[in-house]
Amino acid sequence: MSLRFIGIVDFCILYRTNMMLATLPIPLKIIVFLFLFTFLFSVALGKSTVEIITLMKSNVLGRSLLVNFILLPVLGIILVKLFQLPSETSLGFLMIAVTPGGLLALHFARVSKGSLIYAVGLVILLSFLSIVLTPLLIYVLFPGFQATSIPILSLIGHLLILIIPPLFAGQVIQRWFPRITPKLQKLATALSVVLFMALTIYTSTLKALDPRSLGWNSWGAMATFVIMAWIMGWLFGGPHLVNRKVLAISTSMRNVAICLLIGSSSGFSQGSELAIIGFSELLVPMNLVFAIALRRLKTATLMP
């Protein structure tokens, strides 16, 4: 199985709960955890608890849920019909369509100069909801398919262990050691960038998916899905440019880890698994280019 472009932090969930990835190299696991810790730590150092709570109560998160759990699944169904995808590929494609929360969106939010606190809140919320809602949505779309043995509580517990310590540590240091906070934030930010580069280099040595294993219609449907997700996220992102950047990117980044976990526990066919892996191969390069392009847009308030 290709691991090159599967969402970086999604590895953390998979290898802790799925024997399929239990043999991941130890250096890769260490880099993944350090990247996530330094990124969340740097965000927590720069934002107060009040700012975080205020954003979580804003209506922009409600629009985010509408796009990710209603509009994109509908888009997925339309694209399956439009591109006439085979039944096996359709299952993997639609599973990606109903599973938001790709944690690699955090890095692209920084690249695009979007709102990092919004990115953290949104991606964490989408990840939690995906763990609970994805099996239900898959059952609605495919009544005959049953996702068995999904360790929902275990997944939620592992996610909490990943995100709470760095956020809590950042808030404590910001409150009690304000003098060192700016320098520490710059250091944590620089480390997260270096770790991302190291992970990119490391995973580039892993075997990639042969493009010929999926037909042109499958690749076309996936690319169209990503582009439409950008558009929907941008339109529903509200008047602030920094939030539009984040929602556009986060909406297109799907949680490959949860999809593969459900598939492995439910006896996925090779065609369905290839569709999920193929999606992961497109998500990173497309969103990297998109984030770099968004970076050139100046921060401003747009018309609603």
User: In terms of Cα–Cα distance, which of 229, 254, 253, 206 is closest to 109?
Assistant: 253
- Each residue's pLDDT, cut to its tens digit, for the chain (304 residues) gives 444 444 445 555 454 444 444 445 677 777 778 888 888 888 888 766 666 666 666 677 788 999 999 999 999 999 999 999 988 888 889 988 998 888 788 889 989 999 888 888 888 888 888 878 877 777 777 666 655 556 667 767 777 777 888 988 988 898 898 889 999 989 998 998 898 888 777 766 655 555 567 888 999 999 999 999 999 999 999 888 999 999 999 999 988 777 777 766 555 667 777 888 888 888 888 999 999 999 988 755 444 4
**Domain 10-295, CATH number (from 1.10.10.10, 3.40.50.150, 2.30.30.40, 1.20.1530.20):** 1.20.1530.20
Q: What is d(CA 133, CA 198) in angstroms, rounded to the nearest whole number? A: 33
Domain ranges of the chain: 10-295
Q: Measure CA of the first residue to CA of the last residue in the chain; give whole Å.
A: 43
The alpha carbon torsion through 78, 134, 38, 286 (nearest 10 deg) reads -20
15, 217 in Cβ contact below 8 A? no
H or E segment and range at residue 122: helix 116-141
Q: Could you identify the residue written with the tokens 């275990």?
A: 154
Q: Which of 280, 262, 270 is nearest to 134 (CA)?
A: 262
